[in-house]
Amino acid sequence: MSTSVKQATWAIDPIHSTIRFDAKYLLITSVSGWFREFEGTVVSGQDGFCNSEINLTIYVNSLTTGNDERDNHLRSPDFFDARQFPMIQFRSTAVNTKQEKQLEVNGILTVKGIEHPFTFTANFLGKCGDPLGNTKAAFDMDTVLNRKDFNITWNQLFDKNGLLLSDEVRVHCDLQLLKLS
């Protein structure tokens, strides 16, 4: 006789979550941007998040840096090409305990139609009830991507020697999950 493992389904709470990216401009200072619209689910075991299934969709048109001209350029074919590729997607392939309160998440990240293996560490920040009686869980993560891995190659030379933008892009996420079942 087999015993079934109970699962819990969680949704990313976009009101209490952020996805931010930073790239070096003139290779000395960072310029930050955010995606304001995204959605995702996590299906986990009842007692923890190891072996979870994670799916995340980020809507490229929701990108904002606080500068309309820069935002429009980032949405253009020079960068994300939001018209042809309106979503960035991530799906996990394995989620394992790395250390206490840390998960190693492996998956496939798709940007501009290019799928790339992607691994990051997620820090478990805790689980609690909210004032409305919902169960919440929280994670944060930081990682670095190379934008050229996703055919985001636009750049410019300045001052005869320097590049305008770094190839490395830092990504930071603060994610709060809402338990659905």
| pLDDT over 70 at 135, yes or no | yes
Name the more confident of 5 and 134. 134
Torsion of Cα atoms, 112 then 117 then 120 then 122, to 10°: 80
Q: According to the model, what pLDDT value does residue 155 have?
A: 85
Q: What is the CA radius of gyration of the chain?
A: 18
Mean pLDDT across the chain: 93
pLDDT band at residue 159 under the 50/70/90 scheme: confident
* 1 part of a folded domain: no
For the segment 165-169, the average pLDDT, to the nearest whole number, is 92
CA distances from 13 to 71, 106, 155 (A): 24, 22, 35
Q: What integer is the mean pLDDT of 153-160?
A: 80
Percent of the chain with pLDDT over 70: 96
Residue 77: pLDDT band with limits 50, 70, 90: very high
Domain membership flag for residue 44: yes
Whole-number pLDDT of residue 158:
75
> Over the range 46-57, which residues count as b (16 or more CB within 10 Å of their CB) and which as e?
eeebebbbbebb
pLDDT at 1 exceeding the cut of 50: no
Distance CA(33)–CA(143), nearest Å, equals 15
Domain count, the chain: 1
pLDDT, position 3: 53
Assigned domain for 113 exists: yes
Say if residue 161's pLDDT is above 70: no
Closest alpha carbon to 123 in 97, 146, 145, 144: 97
Nearest-angstrom CA–CA distance, 58 and 39: 7
Q: Kindly state whether residue 2 falls inside one of the protein's structural domains.
A: no
Residue 15 lies in a domain: yes
Name the residue with higher pLDDT: 2 or 170: 170
Question: Domain limits at 122?
Answer: 7-179
pLDDT at residue 50 greater than cutoff 50? yes
Q: What is the pLDDT of residue 4?
A: 62
Mean pLDDT across the stretch 56-78?
A: 97
Indicate the pTM of the whole model: 0.92
Query: CATH number for the domain including 96?
Result: 2.40.128.110
Stretch 22-50: mean pLDDT: 92
